[in-house]
Amino acid sequence: MCTNLKNKHKLLVTIVKKGMASKVVKASKEAGAEGGTIMMGRGTGIHEIKKVFSIPVDPEKEVIFTLILEEQLEQVMRAVIAVSRLDQPGHGIAFVLDVSRIIGCVHKIKGSER
């Protein structure tokens, strides 16, 4: 556990259409985040029902996990919303989770050689 970290962190979870994750990560890094983790997913919401030749298609999604300082949250969220158009229906969703413990963040501890 990284007990040396004095600042509170948040986890920004962003779910967007396939192909948008790299743009979201780039925008979040330009807004102050250090990076993100991208995972694949499948949407099941009301905007996800699509058919090709009358055959239902499961739309693929990308899920981006971005661990950021609480003080950076608003700036990073604004950048993510702008690039992914989350303020428009059917473009995805983002939400924030509190982070109570972090493990594996040795690069954040002052004096770490890693």
Q: Any alpha helices (H) in 49-91, and if so which ranges?
A: 73-84
What is the structure's pLDDT at 62? Answer: 95
Cα–Cα distance, 70 to 59 (Å, whole number): 32
Query: How confident is the model over 56-81, as pLDDT tens digits?
Result: 556 789 999 999 999 999 999 999 99
The answer to whether 12 and 96 have CB atoms below 8 angstroms apart is yes
Closest CA to 41 of 65, 18, 57, 11: 18
| Mean pLDDT confidence for 84-112 | 79
Sequence spans of domains, the chain:
9-108
Q: Would the pLDDT of 1 be above 50?
A: no
Is pTM, for the whole model, over 0.85? no
* Residue predicted with more confidence, 101 or 44: 101
What CATH number has the domain spanning 9-108? 3.30.70.120
| Mean pLDDT confidence for 100-106 | 75
